[in-house]
Amino acid sequence: MTTESKYHIPVLLKESVDGLALRKDSVVVDVTFGGGGHSAYILSQLSEHGFLYAFDQDLDAVSNALKAPNFKLLEANFKYLKNHLSAEGITQVDAILADIGVSSHQFDEEQRGFSFRADAPLDMRMNQRSGRTAASLLNESSEEELLRVFNTYSDLNNVFRLVQALLNDRAIKPFATTHDLTAVAKRLAPKNKEHKYLAQVFQALRIEVNDEIAALRNLLLDAADLLKKGGRISVISYHSIEDRLVKNYFKKGDFEGKETKDFFGNLLRPFVEVNRHPMVPNDVEIEQNNRARSAKLRTAERL
């Protein structure tokens, strides 16, 4: 089974799924269902004796649910992966796939506020049923909180100046739309690098609004508990903050990259890397889907 979805074009589709080394009867979890591209390919590798659980917290993704007797879509954040699978009676699985980040659909739906290309409500929530919006974050956070967000989740060189400008502007008029934010950010962007600067500003806010780094940490920890010995996990990430976490955890068993060894000097870690270096899209895939250009795929096997 394959799918061609305008909702979200699956990135590194064959590489990420084939790396899971699925059997026909595998129990698999796709924690970022989206348009269902990866899930459809996974199902094509399973028989009726295999099963695929998928997760997505975005209500827009529900309409893409696949019709198959061995498929179930759970409307939830993968941050709570282990809890939701436990409610389904599942304590161990054979494989997990995660395509981290924002879907093409979320970027393209202007009213979601993920993109600076159109004027829209400054929302950025992946789950529109809960949590504070990007506007609320900008209007209500302290100076210290805003400095933390932009210092942690962006590579901007003038974070202090940006935060001061945001504080000054919100004192005159609270932030409500994406253009309210871009109007401030553009004043501080380096010449001829406005696009990259705005992307960094929006990225930092989006990560904070959706608590994306905490969710990724929880996913990796849950995966270590859920995967059977020899089970595999594929993670596709799109920026260095995510990729560094995945790399460190797969290589060292620690998010900061610190090594812990047993009495005999053996490295204590839950995974071993399938590939020493991340896989990236080839030129053909990038030409067909420009949003794949920053993707990195890492696959690991449970020890």
CATH superfamily of 128-209: Putative methyltransferase TM0872, insert domain (1.10.150.170)
Question: Which pLDDT value is given to residue 4?
Answer: 44
Q: What is the DSSP letter of 171?
A: H
Residue 272's nearest CA partner among 297, 251, 243 is 251
CATH architecture of 13-104+212-302: 3-Layer(aba) Sandwich (3.40)
DSSP bridge partners of 300 = 233, 273
Contact between 27 and 96 (Cβ < 8 Å): no
Q: Given this model, what pLDDT does residue 103 score?
A: 65
The rounded Cα 232 to chain-centroid distance in angstroms is: 18
Q: What is the pLDDT of residue 2?
A: 39
**CA 37, 237, 113, 287 torsion: positive or negative?**
negative
HSE at residue 227, side-chain half, CA atoms within 13 A, is: 25
Tell me the average confidence (pLDDT) per consecutive run of 10 residues in the chain, 303 residues long: 57 97 98 94 97 90 88 94 96 97 66 83 88 95 98 95 98 97 96 93 95 96 98 96 96 94 90 96 92 94 97
Q: What is the pLDDT of residue 108?
A: 60
- Cβ–Cβ < 8 Å for 100, 203: no
Give domain limits for the chain. Answer: 13-104+212-302, 128-209
Closest CA to 234 of 80, 45, 32, 92: 32
